[in-house]
Amino acid sequence: AQSVTQLDSQVPVFEEAPVELRCNYSSSVSVYLFWYVQYPNQGLQLLLKYLSGSTLVKGINGFEAEFNKSQTSFHLRKPSVHISDTAEYFCAVSGGNTGFQKLVFGTGTRLLVSP
Amino acid sequence: SAVISQKPSRDICQRGTSLTIQCQVDSQVTMMFWYRQQPGQSLTLIATANQGSEATYESGFVIDKFPISRPNLTFSTLTVSNMSPEDSSIYLCSVRRQGNEQYFGPGTRLTVT
């Protein structure tokens, strides 16, 4: 079955520092990839998506992610984080043997931005 | 995107009772999904709800425990039946739009005592 691995459960970082949140997926066939953010006590908000085309995807709030097919990765990056970026970030995939209708989520990475 | 609302936003329920969660979308959609997010965990798909047909449940979830209705293209309900403390979670509905994106409602935070 399709799976998503987010190796880092928590990433502490200082304000204005760069950050990378890692995501690896299991499928070797065509997939769609997504990053969602969940602020405390809120639902999920779509940050960005990769469906096809350019492997570098830009999203909202200054985030970007790079699709790397050979490494089956879709890491999320931001060059300079703000306190307000403190949240839970989920990587998700659709496609592969679970089909494109269903989303499979990783376990999430908590980004903690401190002054 | 999509505007999705859920009711109630949170509830505290007694063991053995049932709670029905409503999900309303601002426009017609074919596919709606229900997810569970247990405390400190990721999201797990419960079922897919299509209008005019029975919901399709994922492994580990059954209709008797989580009955779903989908009476029209903008509305769905999820019932959590015969609740136990293990059902304490956030329940989220989502919809799939063009571009294969899923948009999520704000969630219903359920606590079972």
Tens-level pLDDT at each residue, chain A (115 residues): 778 999 999 999 999 999 999 999 987 677 899 999 999 888 899 999 998 889 999 999 999 999 999 999 999 999 999 999 999 999 999 876 666 678 899 999 999 999 9
Chain B residues lying within 8 Å of A90, measured CB to CB: 42-43
Paired tokens of A76: 């999320």
Spatial separation of the C-alpha atoms in residues B32 and B92, rounded to whole Å: 10
Phi/psi-derived region of residue A96, left when phi > 0, alpha when psi is between -120 and 50, beta in every other case: left
Q: Are A39 and A47 in contact (CB under 8 A)?
A: no
Spatial separation of the C-alpha atoms in residues A73 and A20, rounded to whole Å: 12
Chain A residues lying within 8 Å of B95, measured CB to CB: none
Which residue of A lies nearest to B97 if distances are taken between CA atoms? A101
Which residue of A lies nearest to B105 if distances are taken between CA atoms? A43
| Residue B22: how many other CB atoms lie within 10 Å | 16
Spatial separation of the C-alpha atoms in residues A81 and A14, rounded to whole Å: 8
Q: Are B49 and B55 in contact (CB under 8 A)?
A: yes
Residue A51 near chain B (CB below 8 Å): yes
Residues B34-92 have pLDDT tens digits of 999 998 888 999 999 988 788 999 999 999 999 999 999 999 999 999 999 999 999 99
Residue A67 near chain B (CB below 8 Å): no
- State how far the alpha carbon of A111 is from the alpha carbons of A13, A20, A66, B20, in Å: 8, 10, 19, 33
Residues B5-21 have pLDDT tens digits of 999 999 999 999 999 99
